[in-house]
């Protein structure tokens, strides 16, 4: 590469790093200043670049912050591989389940205002859930299986929604008749309102008794409806007014305008059939405001959200929630006798179980033990990712958080694991 092209590339890289710094997250003078070794961080860059060359992923953005300063903010590969458009730091991604922590914070804002409590039954806000029954499997002497219904032993609560012990499920994984009923009822229909979604769920059986089993589910979608009822506002408006606008997360919403379409990341063909994943364009608008997975964001925007957590609930003079609410959200909320849902082994190293040294807080998984997990981290770190490939974790003990953005459902687990390994191996200093 010529000196002119090198200079131009450096200027572009500098300009792309400015948005995060200008919004209150300063860049470290060098990785070493915040405890990283630049040569070791290069391993991370080389591995992602190798993955791009080998068609493992189209491209990615990595943002690493330690001690409130940016140690690494780089983009790799392609924003749109087919169109040969390079990835940039301001690329907008569909973040899928990384929406859940944002809706969980919205809930805690209402808790702090006295508009709901975590102990409230969901039926207080959506009365139809008072009559929702629980599916019970009955095995006959001849080996056949029948399913019956029984009342809730205790009411599903707002806390159950936040920690996924509600008895709800997702319909896409597993063969249980309850899951099939989700598919038949089209509970995730993008053309419905959150109220219509809640009404559908209330008519279906719960997969488990509330409070007994961790089952990743539409709990946070239903939580979004609770936020609407308790606040008197549509979910998207409440999040905009109370979270994204105060935190200056200007590219974070349920969709962005046409003027930002060119900044949207696109997947590449992948999987056994070499097909394009069904990831909606970032400008595509749906009636259903999915609290469990409907939002878009950038690495810099999500970093501001995590910096708010790192600061104990506030950022740049704006307080969203209290320090004690952060403590509650980031503690393991699972009862010691909680079971894992029958299909939950698919989370592999992300499984929130004591066996893996992990629990689940109010919106994300929480590390409870260092040695039981194959991935590096610290007790008390918390994390989650999205089905389209995005991922974050915050390690308060190391004063570190990482945002990893890509759009590749097939490569998502592989690169979540790689990110943990390659970030921590570069963290040498205190």
Give the pLDDT confidence of 121-179 residue by residue, as tens digits.
Answer: 999 999 999 999 999 988 887 777 888 999 999 999 999 999 999 999 998 766 789 99
Name every residue whose Cβ is closer than 8 Å to that of residue 8 and which is 6 or more positions away in sequence: none
Residue 341's domain spans which residues?
Answer: 23-98+248-424
Confidence at 14, pLDDT banded by 50, 70, 90: very low
SS3 366: strand
Q: Which of 8-17, 138-147, 193-202 has the highest mean pLDDT?
A: 193-202
Alpha-carbon gap, residue 102 to 121, rounded angstroms:
21
Alpha-carbon gap, residue 310 to 314, rounded angstroms:
8
Same structural domain, 82 and 126: no
What are the structure tokens assigned to 299, written together?
């690495």
Q: Return the pLDDT at 126.
A: 98
Same structural domain, 34 and 135: no
Residue 299 bridge partners (DSSP)? none
Same structural domain, 197 and 280: no
Decide: 147 and 180 in contact? Cβ < 8 Å: no
Q: Return the pLDDT at 229.
A: 98
Q: Which CATH number characterizes residue 213's domain?
A: 3.40.710.10
Residue 142 bridge partners (DSSP)? none
How many domains is the chain partitioned into structurally? Answer: 2
Alpha-carbon gap, residue 214 to 360, rounded angstroms:
9
- Is position 14 within any domain? no
Q: Which of 1-15, 133-147, 181-195, 398-412 has the lowest mean pLDDT?
A: 1-15
Counting every residue written for the chain, the total comes to 430
First CA to last CA distance, the chain: 37
- Is position 243 within any domain? no
Alpha-carbon gap, residue 287 to 236, rounded angstroms:
11
Same structural domain, 180 and 292: no
pTM above 0.85, yes or no: yes
What are the structure tokens assigned to 208, written together?
């488990």
**Which of 202, 231, 260 lies at the terminal end of a domain, its last residue?**
231
**Which of 200, 231, 262 lies at the terminal end of a domain, its last residue?**
231
- Using CA atoms in the order 314, 319, 323, 329, what is the torsion angle rounded to 10 degrees? -90
Alpha-carbon gap, residue 105 to 325, rounded angstroms:
9
What mean pLDDT, rounded, does the chain reach? 92
Q: Return the pLDDT at 1.
A: 36
What are the structure tokens assigned to 316, written together?
């740049």
Q: Return the pLDDT at 351.
A: 64
Confidence at 346, pLDDT banded by 50, 70, 90: low
Decide: 155 and 131 in contact? Cβ < 8 Å: no
Alpha-carbon gap, residue 416 to 97, rounded angstroms:
14
Q: Return the pLDDT at 349.
A: 55
Alpha-carbon gap, residue 373 to 376, rounded angstroms:
7
Q: Is the pLDDT of residue 348 over 90?
A: no
């Amino acid at each position: 590469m010529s000196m002119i092209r090198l200079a131009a590339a450096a200027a572009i890289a500098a300009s792309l790093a400015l948005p995060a710094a200008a919004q209150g997250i300063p860049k470290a003078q060098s990785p070493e200043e915040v405890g990283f070794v630049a040569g070791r961080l290069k391993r991370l860059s080389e591995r992602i670049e190798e993955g791009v060359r080998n068609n493992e992923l189209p491209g990615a953005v990595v943002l690493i912050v330690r001690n409130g300063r940016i140690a690494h903010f780089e983009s790799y590969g392609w924003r749109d591989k087919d169109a040969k458009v390079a990835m940039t730091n301001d690329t907008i991604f569909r973040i899928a389940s990384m929406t859940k922590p944002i809706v969980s914070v919205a809930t805690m804002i209402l808790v702090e205002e006295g508009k709901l409590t975590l102990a409230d039954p969901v039926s207080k806000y959506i009365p139809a859930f008072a009559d929702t029954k629980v599916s019970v499997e009955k095995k006959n002497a001849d080996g056949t299986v029948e399913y019956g219904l029984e009342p809730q032993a205790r009411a599903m609560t707002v806390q159950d929604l936040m920690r996924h012990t509600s008895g709800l499920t997702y319909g896409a994984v597993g063969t249980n008749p309850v899951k099939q009923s989700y598919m038949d009822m089209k509970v995730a229909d993008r053309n419905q309102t959150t109220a219509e979604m809640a009404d559908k769920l209330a008519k279906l059986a719960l997969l488990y008794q509330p409070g007994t089993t961790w089952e990743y589910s539409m709990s946070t979608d239903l939580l979004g409806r609770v936020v609407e009822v308790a606040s008197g506002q549509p979910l998207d408006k409440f999040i905009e007014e109370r979270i994204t606008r105060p935190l200056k997360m200007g590219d974070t919403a349920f969709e962005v305008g046409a003027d930002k379409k060119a900044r949207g990341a696109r997947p590449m063909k992948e999987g056994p059939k070499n097909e394009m994943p069904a990831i909606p364009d970032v400008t595509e608008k749906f009636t259903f405001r999915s609290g469990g997975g409907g939002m878009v964001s950038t690495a810099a925007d999500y970093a501001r959200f995590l910096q708010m957590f790192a600061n104990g609930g506030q950022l740049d003079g704006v307080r969203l929630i209290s320090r004690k609410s952060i403590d509650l959200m980031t503690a393991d909320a699972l009862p010691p006798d909680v079971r894992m849902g029958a299909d939950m082994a698919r989370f592999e190293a992300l499984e929130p179980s004591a066996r893996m040294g992990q629990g689940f807080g109010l919106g994300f998984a929480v590390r409870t033990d260092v040695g039981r997990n194959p991935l590096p981290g610290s007790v008390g770190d918390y994390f989650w990712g999205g089905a389209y490939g995005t991922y974050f974790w915050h390690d308060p003990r190391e004063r570190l958080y990482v945002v990893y953005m890509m759009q590749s459902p097939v490569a998502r687990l592989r690169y979540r694991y790689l990110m943990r390994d390659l970030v921590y191996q570069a963290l040498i200093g205190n």
